[in-house]
Amino acid sequence: MISSNDFRNGVTIEIDGNVWQVVDFQHVKPGKGAAFVRTKLKNVKSGAVVERTFNPGEKLPKAHIDRREMQYLYEGDDMYNFMDNETFDQIALTADQLGDAIRFLKENMNIGIMMFQGSIIGLDLPYSVELEVIETDPGVRGDTATGGTKQAKLETGYVVKVPLFINIGDVLKIDTRTGDYLERA
């Protein structure tokens, strides 16, 4: 059990059989009335974010999330295959289980897989990945007075907006949380 006074960003709790992660918390002491803890909670399975208040000292069951380091091997028959780096066991996940993470997966890439009570609830991707540009229009000098953007298709099939100076073959850093271009690698 964990007290609402001990909430920190990243703490996982269990409410009504669902796993929630504390995204933001604030201890509020109004001039009148009792203090309370205002939180933003993210459902680990669905990604939905809700705001909820708790009484100070309220006890909630802590969700013990098992994070395992796995290597992405390959995609075949609409299944994405991963290997546990410690036991060398292989598991296959569907596109629905992976969600938006498919856009950033490269073969032989190490990622964290989050498990709760033996079932996979999500992926823990690195904050940025390096992907190569395989298709983009050439940037023409003098197209804009200020910085412009164009579409670029990356090696995973993901399409991202990039500055005009990016060319085919460039390796880019992409933010996995937002899907935005960060910089050339």
Chain segment 4-25, per-residue pLDDT in tens: 888 888 788 888 888 888 888 8
CA separation for the pair 152, 172 (Å, rounded) = 10
Is pLDDT at 173 greater than 90 in this prediction? yes
Query: Taking all residues of the chain, what is their mean pLDDT, rounded to a whole number?
Result: 86
In this predicted model, what pLDDT tens digit does every residue of 77-91 receive, in sequence order? 888 999 998 999 898
Q: Is 10 exposed, middle or buried (0-12, 13-18, 19+ CB in 10 A)?
A: exposed
State whether 91 and 140 are in the same domain: no
Same domain, 52 and 32: yes
| 183: Cα separation from own chain's centroid | 19
pLDDT, tens digit, 9 for 90 and up, residues 91-105: 888 887 787 888 888
Same structural domain, 145 and 174: yes
The per-residue pLDDT for 76 is: 86
The answer to whether residues 173 and 162 touch, using CB atoms and an 8 Å cutoff, is: no
Domain check: are 134 and 180 in the same one? yes
53: domain CATH number is 2.30.30.30
Q: Are residues 32 and 54 in the same domain?
A: yes
Last residue of a domain, one of 19, 41, 60: 60
pLDDT score for 7: 87
- The model's pLDDT over 31-67, given as tens digits with 9 standing for 90+, comes to 888 899 999 998 877 778 899 999 988 898 988 888 8
Domain encompassing residue 15: 2-60
Residues 70-74, mean pLDDT to the nearest whole number: 92
Residues 111 and 88 in one domain: yes
CA 155 to chain centroid: 19
Question: What's the CATH code of the domain at 162?
Answer: 2.40.50.140
Summarize the confidence of residues 173-185 as an average pLDDT.
88
Three-class SS state of 151? strand
Do 52 and 74 lie in a common domain?
no
Q: List, for residues 104-161, the tens digit of each pLDDT value.
A: 888 899 998 888 877 777 788 888 999 999 999 886 666 555 667 889 999 989 999 9
Total structural domains within the chain: 3
Give 63's DSSP letter. P
Q: What is the pLDDT of residue 115?
A: 83
Predicted local confidence at residue 45, as pLDDT: 75
Answer yes or no: do 55 and 91 share one domain.
no
Helices (H), 10-163: 95-98
In the listed set 60, 85, 107, which residue is the last one of a domain according to the structure? 60
Same domain (yes/no): 70, 47: no
Q: What is the pLDDT of residue 141?
A: 64
- Whether 118 and 160 share a structural domain: no
